[in-house]
Chains A and B, each alone.
Chain A
Amino acid sequence: MPGARATGLRSNRIRRSFGLRAFTAFNYTFLALFAFITFYPFWYILIASFNMGRDFARGGVYLFPRAFTLDNYKKAFENKQIVDAFLISVGRTGIGVALGLFFTSLMSYGLHIRTLPGRTGFVLYFFITTIVSGGMVPYFLLLRALGLTKSFWIFVWPSIFSFYNMILVRTYFDGIPPELRESARIDGAGEWRTLIQIYLPTSLPVLATVALFVGVGHWNDWFTGAYYVTNQKLMPAATLLQKILMEASSQQSIKPGQESAIYAQAVTTTPQSLQMAFVMILTMPIVAVYPFLQKYYVKGVMVGSVKG
């Protein structure tokens, strides 16, 4: 971006360059502070999760673990309820992303063909649902009538399609030279083969973006598990964390002293330190993925804001 490295009258330049330097100093400090406030909570929980729970509760641990331990993670992975919840989360994220990508690609491919008779009608049919919806209760009754409230598939089928993701993929498909599709047709490839062998391999950036959006949505969704699912065995990790938090907040009246008496058996871990390990297991996969796709999803957000 063009800065104000202006030429001009000498006195003017000196005065401005002082103001400019002051502003630059302020700006860098402010942004560094902002980045710190954004990142530090995660760091705080991370070091807490690697610190002995009892020791951490004494306070004073800010930058690095004081009494390093892996007990919190061990305890978390020994807990059958937590492990089951993570299996559900991993399962729904994996299956949800795979099926979501597959069906979104089909839809986007179909709608990107400009010669398709009735194309506008299809787009309108899909678009209306982004403005009008039936609301939560009719939706819940539908899920119940379909028998989904007792099934694992409640995590998969209701979130297979998204108009927004379709726009992202379709916009990318629009950018593929039509000659590619025509030459494939001349070589005798049908629509399905064109999609699978030509379109999908050239669209990896946008597919990665959609996979990230869909995957994060699945991994983070606690609401479905908490309000729509009636089968306790189907609780995903995010919902389990919410349940633990709700129970903890209803016990806030217990004083720390009493609390440690209740959990006297646990020598080094506390319920809180276990929670921190839990939160970290829930956050780590996201931290490991999102920075590497930045270039792609930033573009995706821009496409969405222009078209949406």
Chain B
Amino acid sequence: MTRQVARGTPKAQTAAARSRILRHSAVYMMLLPAVVWYAVFCYQPMYGVLLAFKDYKFNMGILRSPWVGLKYFRQFLFATEFWGVIKNTVVISALKLVCSFPAPIILALLLNEVQRLKFKRVVQTVSYLPHFVSWVVVYTLLTIIFTPYGGLVNSLRTQTFGLEAVYYMGEKQYFYPMAVLSDIWKGVGWGTIVYLSAITSVSPELYEAAIVDGAGRMRCAWHITLPGIRPTISILFILATGGILNANTDQILLMQQPANMSISQIIDTYVLKIGIREGRFGYATAIGLFKSVFSAALMFMANSVSKRVGEISIW
């Protein structure tokens, strides 16, 4: 009896499973386009990473092109541009991590203290606008406002303060400040959304208790709100650390000029130049792979540090 059941069960199970699958056949049809799309546009390029180890010949395809091992990685490590490109990428990202990362947290804390809801809503709505416009538009605004030929800022400099006009978008020493400031300008408002929603989930009882104990607003913000949103801050910080080798290609590509190239060439723009403009596919793929591996390693490191220090982890 028991043996019969035991023998019958798997069969019944497979039959049940099959009927369950059949019952969902329409749903599988719905998922089919997504499965195919991801195979083509995401998984095929992953396989294309093999190029990093191959001497790509157009007529032979990826598979039959000859292997070259780690040649391109060695080439990149010993290239004259190597340290410059790595340094620029890390410097730009680090500047943004130090300046652009805390900005929305501060703005969210300030917005949180506003009690006139209408004022708050207007400020918020306006602050989202730069997020929605293209970097091309932001760059155009920058060039028009900062141009030495009758631009807003330079008019003020020359006419009101009697200073000399400055070519902000072209001179090398202004590249980093302009890059960081425009990054903050574009992203700070949008960045507050996550923090403001985290703030609303801080328990009101904590504030009540603190107020009874005589804490003012500043102390409430410092001792309750900020610790309350610490998990959110940590997670976003870990993600930002993982993206430290990214440094926002869109923005940097637009702001690059011959005059600032020595400090503005980052990994991604270098890959574009080598790979797509010059057609050195294998070499460029190797650099891209180098970057992804290091980004992943950085994220792991940030995560484990955060786990040890604050017991917060993204996985």
Contact = CB atoms under 8 A, between A and B. Distances in A.
Given A4-B215, A34-B127, A242-B136, A44 B47 contact: no
Interface in B88-130: 107, 110-115, 119, 122-130
B169 A27 contact: no
Interface string B158-197: 0100000001011000000000000001000110011001
Given A132-B292, A282-B134, A125 B281 contact: no
Nearest to A113: B27
Interface stretch (A68-76, A115-123, A171-179): A115-123
B250 A223 contact: yes
Interface stretch (A77-85, A137-145, A200-208, A261-269): A137-145
Contacts of B144: 44-45, 48, 272, 275-276
Interface stretch (B3-11, B16-24, B76-84, B302-310): B16-24
Contacts of A42: 129, 141
A252 interface: yes
Contacts of B218: 19, 23
A190 B197 CA distance: 38
For chain A, the bracket of interface size reads 35 or more
A136 B268 CA distance: 9
22 contacts: A4-B216, A6-B211, A6-B216, A31-B119, A57-B150, A62-B152, A129-B38, A135-B285, A135-B289, A136-B276, A137-B276, A138-B51, A142-B44, A161-B34, A216-B132, A220-B135, A242-B254, A245-B143, A275-B144, A282-B137, A286-B132, A290-B132
Interface residues of B, number: 99
A180 interface: no
Contact of A39 (B129, B145, B253): B129
A220 to B, nearest CB: 3
Interface string A39-64: 10110110010000000111110100
A35 to B, nearest CB: 5
A142 B150 contact: no
Interface of B: 17, 20-21, 24, 26-28, 30-31, 33-35, 37-38, 40-49, 51, 107, 110-115, 119, 122-130, 132-137, 139-141, 143-145, 149-150, 152, 155, 159, 167, 169-170, 185, 189-190, 193-194, 197, 199, 204, 207-208, 211-212, 214-218, 220, 232, 249-250, 253-254, 257, 268, 271-272, 275-276, 281, 284-285, 288-289, 291-292, 296
A158 B41 contact: yes
Given A4-B220, A38-B127, A138-B285, A31 B133 contact: no
Which 9 pairs of residues, A with B, have the shortest CB-CB distance?
A: A138-B48, A134-B45, A135-B288, A220-B134, A129-B42, A191-B26, A138-B45, A110-B31, A137-B275
A232 interface: no
